Amino acid sequence: MQAALHTDQMHPYDDVSMKKQYSPLHFMLLLSVLGAAWVWSDPAALAQLAAAPAPASQPNARIGVLDRVQATAILPPSVFYKGASASVQGRNSAGIRFTDGALALMALVDASGYSSAVQQTYQGYLLNELQLQIGDKTLAPGAYGFGFIAGNRMVVMDIGGSEILRATTTRDEMLAHPTPLQIIPDASVPGHYRLYLGRSYVTLSAAQSSH
């Protein structure tokens, strides 16, 4: 004969019986439901609710450089390029939030699954929400592969691997702490930034409108 079922079931993570209890939270939820019902039944209260100001924007949405923690929180863990995917190196990522809130994000990728020919140019991934000025060239919003190559050049490709632009890079022998990838504001020109791979960099800024 089976043993009688106990009415008090044990929580799998502690030793407290799962008895039905009513906490102050239950009463708060009940009051919230009743309040919502009153608002929807009262046209004047509903109008007041509609006229209430919208919540303020996120306080951490500051203009300027995004460090690797902030960039990694936005970037996907892997990205598509030329018929395959590559993992994003969160530790080697950064970004820029421009004055209109648009983002440009860059990260090195694990391109070990690609041929050696592709690896020579495909070193990083660039996600861009604005017309981005790279040196003296302009890049439209989109997703791209990029790399710093011989001859002091940065090459940018579409996700099919076709080259879109080349920009001149500059070697900075005075950089105190070179890393695989970082973005530093250009102190000499407000609104301009330097994307570094090691000691070589290219300048980035929001492209000026022609209108």
Least confident of 28-37, 97-106, 153-162, 176-185: 28-37
Is 24 contained in some domain? Answer: no
Is 6 contained in some domain? Answer: no
Q: Is the pLDDT of residue 9 over 90?
A: no
Is 175 contained in some domain? Answer: yes
Closest C-alpha among 8, 16, 207, 197 to residue 108: 197
CA dihedral 160, 161, 164, 165 (to 10 degrees): 160
Domain housing 74: 64-206
Is 115 contained in some domain? Answer: yes
What is the DSSP secondary structure assignment for residue 148, as one 8-state letter? E
Task: State residue 208's pLDDT score.
Answer: 83
- Mean pLDDT for all residues in the chain: 81
pLDDT in tens, 81-129: 999 999 999 999 999 999 999 999 999 999 999 999 999 999 999 999 9
User: How are beta strands 78-81 and 64-66 bridged, if at all?
Assistant: unpaired
Q: What is the 3-state secondary structure (H, E, C) of 73-140?
A: HHCCCEEEECCEEEEEEEEEEEEEECCCCCEEEEEEEECCCCCHHHHCCCCEEEEECCCEEECCEEEC
Q: Is 85 left (phi over 0), alpha (psi -120 to 50) or beta?
A: beta
Least confident of 36-40, 73-77, 93-97, 139-143: 36-40
Task: State residue 18's pLDDT score.
Answer: 36
Is 30 contained in some domain? Answer: no
pTM of the model: 0.71
Is 157 contained in some domain? Answer: yes
Task: State residue 34's pLDDT score.
Answer: 46
Is 38 contained in some domain? Answer: no
Q: How many domains does the chain have?
A: 1
Q: Give the model's confidence band at 31: pLDDT under 50 very low, under 70 low, under 90 confident, else very high.
A: very low
Is 108 contained in some domain? Answer: yes
Task: State residue 159's pLDDT score.
Answer: 97
